[in-house]
Amino acid sequence: MKVAPSILTADFTNLKEELESIKNADYIHLDIMDGHFVPNISFGPAISKKISENTDIDLDVHLMVWQPLFWVPKFAFKRTKYITIHIESDDVKETIEAIKELEIGVGLSIKPKTPLKDLYPYIKKADLILIMTVEPGFGGQSFMEDQLTKVKELVKYREKNKLDFMIEVDGGINDETIDACREAGVDIVVAGSYIFNMKNRKEGIESLK
**Binding-site residue positions for a divalent metal cation:** 29, 31, 62, 170
Residue 140 beta carbon to ligand DX5: minimum distance, rounded to whole angstroms: 5
Min separation Cβ 104 and ligand DX5, Å = 18
CA 113 vs CA 6, 15, 117, 191: distances in Å: 22, 34, 12, 21
Exposed, middle or buried: residue 115 (CB in 10 Å: 0-12, 13-18, 19+)? exposed
Q: Which span (19-27, 58-66, 110-118, 143-151) binds Zn ion, by CB under 5 A? A: 58-66
Beta-bridge partners for 15: none
Contact 22, 8 (CB under 8 A): no
Closer Cβ to ligand DX5, 31 or 127, answer by number: 31
For residues 139 and 135, what is the distance between their CA atoms, to the nearest angstrom?
10
CB of 159 to ligand DX5, least distance (A): 27
Q: Which residues are annotated as a binding site?
A: 6, 29, 31, 62, 137-140, 170-172, 192-193
Binding residues for Zn ion, rule CB under 5 A, total: 3
- Positive/negative CA dihedral, 199, 205, 27, 112: negative
Give which of ligand DX5, Zn ion, none residue 137 binds (C-beta under 5 to 8 Å, depending on kind). ligand DX5
Binding site for ligand DX5 (CB under 6 A): 6, 8-9, 29, 31, 62, 134, 136-141, 170-173, 190-194
Please choose which of Zn ion, ligand DX5, none residue 201 contacts, taking the beta carbon within 5 to 8 angstroms, the exact cut-off set by kind.
none
CA distances, 13 to each of 5, 16, 41, 42 (Å): 18, 9, 17, 14
Region near Zn ion per CB under 5 A, out of 24-32, 73-81, 99-107, 198-206: 24-32
To the nearest whole angstrom, how small is the minimum distance from the Cβ of residue 153 to ligand DX5?
21
Give catalytic residues, as residue numbers: 31, 170
- Residues 150-189 touching Zn ion, rule: CB under 5 A, are 170
Residue nearest to Zn ion (CB): 62
Cα end-to-end distance, the chain, whole Å: 5
How far is 24 from 55, CA to CA, in rounded Å?
11
22 contact choice in Zn ion, ligand DX5, none (CB below 5 to 8 Å, kind-dependent)? none
d(CA 75, CA 78) in angstroms, rounded, equals: 9
